[in-house]
């Protein structure tokens, strides 16, 4: 099974809305009541068009059995931590990259495609892309109440901090020589084959 990742485009928005709805209803029903889920979908959860315009939102596609978007997620250099276009408490001003970490934002995986490493593919791409454009690091400031994406970011953040402590560094993931090629490739889409 292969996955490809690319920058999200405006024409993806209708599919992303369906994906976010399916992800929230399918993966967060154990954590939230139906009323809470409906409220979150009507106000907080949704497509953040600013991330798409900024070129910092990605989609993961599979071509098995047919090409389709199975996950989305991104990063931001803006102060808004969460919320789609309908969220009224947005702060779209830019962060200071010298002192503020880029924000990991709006990860959603279709319930039929969980536990296949897709979240890791997205997180790797976001971290590398943020570092290449000069972000200090990619912050995992995800509300734990947001379910599986929050758990993924929390676990990843703890693992990264442990790795950096061993290397004598703090925060971020460290820029690697392939980062420029990664960001360029994301413009064209890259293919990832998960380990078995």
- Give the predicted TM-score (pTM) of the model: 0.72
For residue 189, the model assigns a pLDDT of 45
pLDDT tens for the chain, 196 residues long, are 789 999 999 999 999 999 999 999 999 999 999 999 999 998 889 999 999 999 999 999 998 888 999 999 999 988 877 777 777 777 788 888 888 888 899 999 999 999 999 999 999 999 999 888 777 666 554 433 344 444 554 445 444 444 434 334 333 333 333 333 343 444 444 444 444 4
**Of 109, 96, 106, the residue nearest 126 (C-alpha):** 106
For residue 83, the model assigns a pLDDT of 76
Measured in degrees and rounded to the nearest 5, phi and psi for residue 135 equal -65, 145
For residue 93, the model assigns a pLDDT of 84
- DSSP letter at 78 equals B
Sequence spans of domains, the chain:
3-192
Instruction: Write the CATH number of the domain with boundaries 3-192.
Output: 3.40.630
Write the DSSP assignment of 85-108 as a string of letters: TT-SS---SBP-TTTSPEEEEEEE
CA dihedral 21, 27, 33, 39 (to 10 degrees): -30
Q: Could you read off the pLDDT of 130-164 as tens digits, one per residue? A: 888 777 666 554 433 344 444 554 445 444 444 43
For residue 87, the model assigns a pLDDT of 76
Buried-state track 136-163, b at ≥16 Cβ within 10 A, e below 16:
bbbbbebeeebbbbbebbeebbeebeee
155-159: long-range contacts (C-beta < 8 A, 24 or more apart)?
156/120, 156/123
For residue 121, the model assigns a pLDDT of 93
88-94: long-range contacts (C-beta < 8 A, 24 or more apart)?
88/43, 92/50
For residue 99, the model assigns a pLDDT of 83
């Amino acid at each position: 099974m292969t996955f490809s990742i690319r920058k999200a485009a405006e024409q993806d928005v209708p599919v992303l809305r369906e994906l976010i709805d399916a992800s929230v209803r399918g993966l967060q029903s154990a954590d939230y009541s139906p009323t809470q889920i409906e409220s979150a979908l009507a106000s907080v959860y949704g497509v953040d068009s600013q991330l798409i315009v900024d070129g910092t939102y990605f989609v993961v596609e599979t071509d098995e059995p047919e090409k389709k978007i199975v996950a989305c997620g991104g990063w931001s250099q803006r102060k808004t931590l969460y919320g789609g276009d309908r969220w009224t408490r947005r702060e779209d001003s830019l962060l200071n990259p010298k002192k503020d970490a880029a924000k990991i934002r709006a990860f959603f995986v279709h319930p039929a495609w969980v536990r296949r490493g897709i979240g890791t593919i997205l997180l790797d791409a976001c971290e590398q892309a943020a570092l290449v454009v000069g972000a200090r690091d990619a912050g995992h400031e995800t509300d734990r109440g947001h379910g599986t994406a929050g758990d993924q970011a929390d676990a990843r953040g703890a693992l990264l901090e442990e790795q950096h402590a061993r290397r004598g560094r703090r925060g971020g993931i460290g820029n690697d020589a392939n980062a420029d090629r990664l960001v360029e490739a994301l413009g064209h889409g890259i293919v990832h084959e998960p380990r078995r």
